[in-house]
Amino acid sequence: MATKKLLETDVYPSDRFKVFEHSLMVEMEMAKMEHEKVWGINRVIDLVDAEFRRKVIAQRERIWEASQARDEEKLDRAIKGMIAAYKALTRWAIEAGIEQMPKIDCMEHRMADGSLMVIVRDKQMATWYDQFHKLPVKRSVWTLEELEVVMNSKTLTQVREIKAAIPGTTMVPVTPQGSSGFEDMDNDINISKPFKSGKLFDTQAAERARDERRT
């Protein structure tokens, strides 16, 4: 399995510029993560003045332009400039006395439709998450109390009872095939017309037997 993965991801001969670009991007991502783990994701950039924000955005564009031009020298300068921008954002936040990101207890799950489902402990955590994680993605933030409301619905109450009775059971998505589930079966009886086939059951005999059991 590891060998197969290696063959899928590593291409030889390697692209010299792509290798150079990747090594620099790793350094920039590290600087970005160091900043965001203290001050939140895309939070400080929304708090600075318009001119500061414009310079940071322009620096990001320089990275894209250098990458498109495959210019190693310009890319090196642009990424170093972006690393300096993150440091400048950190200095601004400290000098402005901006509140640092609190510890947020949360779980994130990327759903099939591409949206992000976030589960947090309580309403305060939900507020902090929205405040400090300003990712440009479609997401829904749920508190444990809200999940309890959902789980107490009639259907999910039954599911909870099953999971409690049979540990290890899991829910899976089911694609409906029709309104009743019988639409894909052959229908050899036309109920819109009188039934003319021979008797399948002797109803009179059944009624006599029933009456005899009652007496």
Local confidence pLDDT in tens for the 215 residues of the chain: 444 444 444 556 678 899 999 999 999 999 999 998 899 888 899 999 999 999 999 999 999 999 999 999 999 999 999 999 999 999 999 999 998 888 888 899 999 888 999 999 998 888 888 888 877 678 899 999 999 998 898 888 888 888 888 888 888 877 766 565 555 555 555 666 665 655 555 667 667 777 777 66
Classify 110 as helix, strand or coil.
strand
Determine the pLDDT at residue 2: 45
Determine the pLDDT at residue 206: 66
Determine the pLDDT at residue 185: 57
pTM for this structure?
0.55
Which amino acid belongs to residue 81? G
CA distance 26 to 36: 15
- Tell me how many degrees the CA angle 96-87-44 measures, rounded to the nearest 5: 45
Determine the pLDDT at residue 31: 95
CA distance 185 to 188: 9
